[in-house]
Amino acid sequence: MHFSLFTATGAYNLGDELILLQEYEYLKNRYKNASFSFFTYDEKSSLLPEDPMIEYLSYFPNHLKTRPIHNIWYLLQTILTIRSSDAIIVGGGGLLYDNEEGQSFEKIVRQWKLRVWLAKFFGKPLTYWSLGIHIKKENERKIRSLFSGENIHISVRDVESKKTLEALGIKSVLIRDPVLSYDPEIPKLLIKHRPKIGLSFRSGFLQDELENIEKIITFLMAHGYEPILINHSFHRENPITNDDVFLENIREKYQLHSTQNLRETLETYKELEFVIGMRLHSLILSLVHAIPFFAISYGKKTDEFIRSINYEYSLAARVFDIEVFKKQFMNLEKEKNEQKFALSTKNDTIKREIYITTNNFFDGLEKF
């Protein structure tokens, strides 16, 4: 069995690389002799282990204007690999979106239409795995053709995505974000000095963002914490989504430690007492590590995640109030042990749910 996987990998985003890692581990366990072609923008971004059954291929297009000759080969590789694959998997993660500055929705859709058309042309079974769809109502019809045809199996990661497809008359199965299945190795004992608190912010969504982030940091430092900037995105082409670039001045002003790559970010979670997070996968990693967290929700996908685990410690980014935050965070401190236990219990339940729904989904794929 040879799988070709098209995910959002290669942009140095921790959540996207963890999604691919979880999917690889599931497929490797289920199909013992499987081989894989992973399409990516940069294989150095990957968190996958070394495996002779893995090959990395560049997406087409990839720097089309500056590498026109390379892109002829990228396109040919895409065609030949899809033709020789037994199954095509798209996702998971938020692959269809129109709410990010610097990203063209029309361009995103054109690229996915090409890849999906090739899969259909060669008669390959096409599986959407825990797909995230976050688009405006007026753009819904533009994605319909991606999901029409025979031998297409669709799962989505959240209720919003499921409702979007239902509005188009398309059925799907809900399989929650694969990162919720991530199983970290948590040290039993840590030698602690000042307790560490992880901060995961995202540019462009928090009200008076730099002012409020400074207020959060000074409040935490005054209460004896060591704030650490846990960067989830190191995007090399779009500085707006690069967490390290976004908070560079604040990092220097307060002499904060800031993680410098995806693996360091992932390892740092093992050392944290609390997390204050905006990014979806920061909240998810807090859950799987049983770290009490304070969520600053910036959109529907983070809203839905917070509701799905019935979590009370959160504020909306657009109406963030520092005084309300301080009060709620001090309550969270008092309930730290209770929250750790509750998060651990919730995560165990979610892991079992994902295991069952994913198995049922793959059991139903006729040609696998």
- pLDDT, tens digit, 9 for 90 and up, residues 321-340: 999 999 999 999 999 999 99
> What domain range is 343 assigned to?
196-347
Q: Is the pLDDT of residue 101 over 90?
A: no
- Cis (ω within 30 of 0) for the bond into 92? yes
Q: How many CB atoms lie within 10 A of CB 159?
A: 13
If one counts the domains in the chain, the total is 2
- pLDDT, tens digit, 9 for 90 and up, residues 275-294: 999 999 999 999 999 999 99
If you average pLDDT over residues 50-62, what whole number do you get? Answer: 97
- pLDDT, tens digit, 9 for 90 and up, residues 185-238: 876 655 557 899 999 999 999 999 999 999 999 999 999 999 999 999 999 888
Residues 166 and 294 placed together within one structural domain of the fold: no
**Maximum alpha-carbon separation in the chain:** 62
Question: Is 49 among the domain residues?
Answer: yes
Question: Is 191 among the domain residues?
Answer: no
- What is the rounded distance in angstroms from the CA atom of residue 204 to the CA atom of residue 101? 9
- What is the rounded distance in angstroms from the CA atom of residue 259 to the CA atom of residue 9? 19
Residues 231 and 169 placed together within one structural domain of the fold: no
Question: Is 64 among the domain residues?
Answer: yes
Q: What is the CATH number of the domain that holds 233?
A: 3.40.50.2000
- pLDDT, tens digit, 9 for 90 and up, residues 255-268: 999 999 999 999 99
Residues 39 and 57: beta-carbon distance below 8 Å: yes
Q: Is the pLDDT of residue 357 over 80?
A: yes
Question: Is 360 among the domain residues?
Answer: no
Question: Is 60 among the domain residues?
Answer: yes
- pLDDT, tens digit, 9 for 90 and up, residues 298-320: 999 999 999 999 999 999 999 99
Stated as kind and residue range, the H or E segment containing 287 is helix 280-288
- What is the rounded distance in angstroms from the CA atom of residue 166 to the CA atom of residue 163? 5
